[in-house]
């Protein structure tokens, strides 16, 4: 991991730790990282899991790939370098949410295994849960409400994960789901795996 540019900073330690936050909120905190192709159902699934967690009294929040690019990451495009920086920034935000005691759910293609591994590395052991949304490409293309696959296949969009740019599927994710199956079933699998 890279060190900060400035050498004139010192990390500040607070007086409340993770176990105290968990006791206060009544649940453990996690970063639940949904990764998969465009159209795989990451956002739909993340928002459905968020709803189910909130209904159970769990403090949860979704960081969605497109939504984050309207604000925090509006200066980034889709080059390999920008994709890496996008995931680095989001990973740091997730770590803050997780440290605050929340369950933060992300919905990012995050196509590079090394970027996901770096996000995992900044989290405490067992607090980063990778969810591979392993939905068949033909299903993703059929769901393509934005028309992105057609544009990528015609050459209008370059650097499109799974078509004109790589997507490195997780080798050993904590959870694998296929959203061509019923949404409720996928949500139940994730909630069960988290033990929340």
pLDDT digits (tens, 9 = 90+) for 131-185: 999 988 888 788 877 777 777 777 777 777 767 677 899 999 999 999 888 999 9
pLDDT of residue 9: 59
pLDDT of residue 5: 61
Please state, in angstroms and rounded to a whole number, the distance separating the CA atoms of residues 69 and 76: 7
Q: Residues 115, 168, 182, CA angle at the centre, nearest 5°?
A: 105
Strand residues in 7-89 grouped as ranges (E): 30-35, 60-64
Q: What is the rounded radius of gyration, in angstroms, for the C-alpha atoms of the chain?
A: 17
Q: Is residue 1 part of a domain?
A: no
- Crossing angle of helices 113-121/80-99, nearest 10°? 30
39 within 8 A of 144, measured Cβ to Cβ: yes
Structural domain boundaries, residue 30: 26-194
Known catalytic membership, residue 38: no
pLDDT of residue 7: 67
- Please give the structure tokens belonging to residue 129: 């849960």
- CA distances to 50, 64, 97, 114, 132 from 102, in Å: 11, 16, 6, 25, 21
- Structurally, how many domains does the chain consist of? 1
Q: Is residue 9 part of a domain?
A: no
pLDDT of residue 176: 95
pLDDT of residue 50: 97
Whole-number average pLDDT of the chain? 87
Please state, in angstroms and rounded to a whole number, the distance separating the CA atoms of residues 120 and 124: 8
pLDDT of residue 148: 77
Q: Is residue 21 part of a domain?
A: no
Its pTM stands at: 0.86
Q: Is residue 47 part of a domain?
A: yes
pLDDT of residue 8: 64
131 within 8 A of 173, measured Cβ to Cβ: yes
Q: Does residue 1 carry a pLDDT above 60? A: no
Provide mean pLDDT across the span 103-124: 93
- What's the CATH number where 168 sits? 3.40.50.300
Query: pLDDT, tens digit, for every residue of 32-91?
Result: 999 998 888 999 999 999 999 999 999 999 998 778 888 878 898 888 898 889 889 999
Q: Is residue 107 part of a domain?
A: yes
Among the options 38, 40, 43, 110, which is catalytic?
110
pLDDT of residue 126: 94
Give the pLDDT band of residue 191 (cuts 50, 70, 90): very high
Q: Is residue 15 part of a domain?
A: no
| Residue whose tokens read 């296949």 | 153
Q: Is residue 140 part of a domain?
A: yes
The partner residues of 129 in beta bridges, in order of sequence, read: 32
């Amino acid at each position: 991991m890279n060190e900060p540019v400035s050498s004139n900073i010192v990390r500040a330690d607070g007086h409340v730790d993770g176990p105290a936050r968990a006791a206060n909120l009544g649940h453990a905190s996690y970063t639940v990282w949904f990764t998969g192709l465009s159209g795989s159902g990451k956002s739909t699934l993340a928002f459905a899991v968020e709803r189910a967690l909130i209904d159970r009294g769990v403090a949860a929040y979704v960081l969605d790939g497109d939504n984050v690019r309207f604000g925090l990451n509006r200066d980034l495009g889709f080059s390999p370098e920008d994709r890496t920086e996008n995931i680095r920034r989001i990973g740091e935000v997730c770590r803050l949410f997780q440290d605050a005691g929340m369950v933060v759910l992300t919905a990012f293609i995050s196509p590079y295994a090394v970027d996901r591994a770096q996000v995992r590395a900044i989290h405490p052991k067992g607090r980063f849960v990778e969810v591979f949304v392993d939905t068949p490409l033909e299903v993703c293309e059929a769901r393509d409400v934005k028309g992105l696959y057609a544009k990528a296949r015609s050459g209008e969009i370059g650097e499109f994960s799974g078509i004109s740019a790589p997507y490195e599927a997780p080798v050993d994710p904590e959870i694998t789901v296929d959203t061509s199956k019923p949404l409720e079933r996928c949500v139940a699998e994730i909630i069960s795996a988290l033990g929340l």
